[in-house]
Structure 1
Amino acid sequence: MQPWTEVPPQPGRHFVVTGSNSGIGLQVARILGSRGARVTLACRSVERGEAAARTVPGHDKGRVAVRRLDVASLASVRELAEQLVAEGGLDVLVNNAGVLGAPFSTTEDGVEMHFATNHLGHFALTNLLLPHLRDRVVVTGSREHRRGDIDLDDLGWERRKYGAFAAYAASKQANLLFLLELDRRLRAADSPLRAVGAHPGASATHITQGSGNPVWTWIGYHGQRLVSMPAWRGALCTVYAATMDVPGNTYIGPHGRLELHGWPAPGRRSVGAADAGLAARLWDVSEKLSGVSFPL
C-alpha cells in the first residue's frame, strides 16, 4: 500500500487533543502543528503538558495551548468544556486520552476507571462541545475492542470477577458503540458535523504506565518498543480521520496484517461493536451516569 504522509494544510483550524502530553496524542498534536493548525493539548498534568507543548510546531507562534483535563473526572470535563467554549473557534475534538491495564478502582464519580477514562469522560466532553464544533469528533478505538464484552448491567464489576484487560477491551467496545450512535444522532439531526474513529494499531507508547504494576509497565513499554510502530506512525491513523474528507462513522486503522502495522486504511469492527441496539442502550446509560445529554 502507498504510504500516506501528505497531511492537508490546516491553517486557521483549531484541534483539541485529549491526553496529548505523550504518546499518540502528542504525535497527533505535532503533526497537526506542523501543518499550521492551532492545537490545544488537554492534559491531566499542566506541567507535563507545557513541556510537551514546547515540542509542538507553532508553539513559538502562539498556536499551541495547554488546558487541564482529568478525563476520569466529570467536574474536570465540565471545567474544560466551559473554558473552550469561552475561548471559541473549535473545529475538531480528538478524544485520545486512555488508560490500559489499571487495577480495579472507581473515580470520584463512582465509575470504574477504564470505562470512565476511555469512554464516559469523552462522552460528556463531546456532548458539551458539540454545539460549538465546526467540523468533527474523532473517537479513538483499539484492536482490543474485538475482545470486548460490555455488560451494561454490571459496569462496576460487582457480579463478575474484575479483569483489567477485560475492562479495557469493554471500554474500547464502548468507544465504537459511541461512534456508531453519535453518527446516527448527527445524521438524524441533519447536523453538518461528523463523527469518525481511528486506532493506532501496535504503537510504542506509555499507555501501560497506569497499570499500577511496575513489572507489567516495564514489560509493556519495552515490549512495545521491540514489536510496535513508532508512535508517529500510529498517530497517522488519527490524523487521517481528523483531516481527510471521509464520511461519518468511518473507522481508520493500519492497513497491515491484523491491523498491527501499516498506513491509514479502513479498519474492521467486531459484530458487537456494530450492534445499533446496544449502542443506543449504552448512550442512555452514559447520559444517566454523566448527566450530559445530546444537545442537537
Structure 2
Amino acid sequence: MTDVSLGLPQMPAPDFPADVRARLEADAGELIARYPDSRSALLPLLHLVQAEEGHVTRTGVRFCAEMLGLTTAEVTAVSTFYSMYRRKPSGDYQVGVCTNTLCAVMGGDAIFDELKEHLGVGNGETTDDGMVTLEHVECNAACDFAPVVMVNWEFFDNQTPESAKRLVDDLRAGRTVEPTRGAPLCTFKETARILAGFPDTRPGAVEATGGAGSASLVGLRLAKGEAEPGRVVSPRPAPPESAEGPVTPTGEAPSSHPSSHDAPRKTSASDPEHPAGPVSEEGE
C-alpha cells in the first residue's frame, strides 16, 4: 500500500486479536442483517469498533471495510465526516459545552473557558488521567435549558462555571453523577455500543425521558388555548400623530416614526423626474 499524501509505503492496518475479531464479527453480522443493503450498516459498525477501542482506528476502519465489501478509503471518508466518531484516543467522558448562540449568550463561552483552565486542556484534548475530553459542541436543541453541558450526550442543564467544574471533578474522582434528565450516565465506550444499536441495559434507561422544557412548550400551549397570549410591548414609544397622519407630505414616514427605516423611498420606478435608463458604454 502507498500513502497517497506522502508517496511513501504504508503498512497495512493490524487486525484485532482472534477472540476480539470473532466477537465483533458476530455483533457486526447482527447489525448488517437489519438492512437490505449491507453498506447501510456502516454508521452502526463505526460505533461498534469505537466501542471496542474508544476511537476509530485503522484497525477498526479495516474491519468495517472487510465486513461491508468497501474500500478503506470509503470507510475513512465517512468516519472523518461525522464528529461523533473520534479519530484519536479520548476520555471515558466526553464533556461537551454548547457554545452556540443562546448558550453562549447565557454563559456557555464562560463555562468553556473556565473548564479549559480548570482541566488544563484545550478544545478536543483529554486530561492526563484519561478521564475527560473537553470540547465545544453545536446546538443540541435544548435552548430552553441554556447553558447546557453534555457528558457522553446526556444533558446537564442550566449550568454555571462553578457547577460545571464540580461536574468534571466528580467525573474524575469516580463519583456518581446524575444527568438533569434522560438516561443514566455511562462511559463513552458503553455509549458507543448503545449508539451502534444494541439494547440499552442501564437501570432506568428505558423509562427515562428527556422532554422539552416549559419555554419550548409555550407555543403549543398557546395554540391549544391553555395559556394567555403574551402582552405585546412596543420597543419604542409611538410618535404623536399629526392631522396629516404618520406620513409626511412627501409621501415618506417622518424620521421619528417606528417604520421610517423601511418606508417607501424614491426609486427610478417611482420618481419619473429622474428615470434610470440603460447604462451607456461611456459609463461602463
TM-score by length of 2: 0.29
- The answer to which structure has the higher strand fraction is 1
Indicate the structure (1 or 2) with the bigger Cα radius of gyration. Answer: 2
- The answer to which structure has the higher helix fraction is 1
TM-score by length of 1: 0.29
